[in-house]
Amino acid sequence: MTAADILTLIPAAVGRSTLAFCRIIGSVAIFALSTLSHLLRPPFYPKEFLHALLHIGYFSLPVVGMTALFTGGALALQIYSGGSRFNAESVVPSIVAIGMVRELGPVLGGLMVAGRVAASIAAEIGTMKVTEQIDALTTLSTHPMKYLTVPRVLAATLAMPVLAAIGDVIGIMGGYLVGVTRLDFNSAAYIKNTYDFLEVADVTSGLWKAAAFGFIVALMGCYHGMRSGRGAQGVGKATTNAVVSASVMILASNYVLTEVFF
């Protein structure tokens, strides 16, 4: 190997991974556009949609609720500890509420749903791919994108804002419980304080974010499931990729959306 070969090794590796990254972005974008185009064209599968709504929305309630409850409680303690350094303990209720609805409710809820839903979608569709069920769907004149992807993506996009809204309420309640029982806040004053400082835009921006996160979660689950490799290992890898990419995309898009709503 000559010196020139060694010198080109590093730029070649950088170039290769850059190209691979661009290719993935391109194929995810095409997958997303194809999902949207199938969303608008019949046939529709309402039964599949309701089934997905139940699994993605309703069954995620405990996970999202628990996450919000403990996060709200911890948030109250942290803000109290920080606020007390410049005699601003009274901001606890409003900051807990704003923090929950603008940021933590949708983001943590989205991440929890990513772990639960993106994984299960990728594993289910990946197994269907490996056992030729996707091919079987096609031969039975049923488009896999319409039958599998569209109902899940639509259900997640619609269910996630509802989950986030419920998470917001439970999170604020977590802060309230800690505030009243541990930090000696007056119950009525805590509620009034929360209510007075919270604006409608705080809530709606958080819910829009949640809808975007829901879309990302289901899209990543379906995308990686449909491209699953062979065998148990392929499905395992697809599941991991789905959760990791959904989580990273949630955090990245959260920053972008926060800039937009700022």
Nearer to other proteins, 140 or 188 (CB): 140
CB of 133 to other proteins, least distance (A): 5
Q: Give the separation between CA 80 and CA 76, rounded to whole angstroms.
A: 6
Nearer to other proteins, 107 or 128 (CB): 128
Nearer to other proteins, 43 or 229 (CB): 43
Nearer to other proteins, 45 or 208 (CB): 45
CB of 127 to other proteins, least distance (A): 8
CB of 25 to other proteins, least distance (A): 23
Q: What's the 3-state SS for the chain?
A: CCHHHHHHHHHHHHHHHHHHHHHHHHHHHHHHHHHHHHHHCCCCCHHHHHHHHHHHCHHHHHHHHHHHHHHHHHHHHHHHHHHHHHCCHHHHHHHHHHHHHHHHHHHHHHHHHHHHHHHHHHHHHHHHHHCCHHHHHHHCCCCHHHHHHHHHHHHHHHHHHHHHHHHHHHHHHHHHHHHHHCCCCCHHHHHHHHHHHCCHHHHHHHHHHHHHHHHHHHHHHHHHHHCCCCHHHHHHHHHHHHHHHHHHHHHHHHHHHHHHHC
CB of 236 to other proteins, least distance (A): 18
CB of 46 to other proteins, least distance (A): 11
| φ, ψ dihedrals at 178, nearest 5° | -65, -45
| φ, ψ dihedrals at 88, nearest 5° | -120, 40
Nearer to other proteins, 132 or 199 (CB): 132
Nearer to other proteins, 52 or 69 (CB): 52
**Residues at the contact surface with other proteins, assessed by CB under 8 A:** 43, 45, 128, 131-133, 135-142
CB of 129 to other proteins, least distance (A): 11
Nearer to other proteins, 195 or 229 (CB): 229
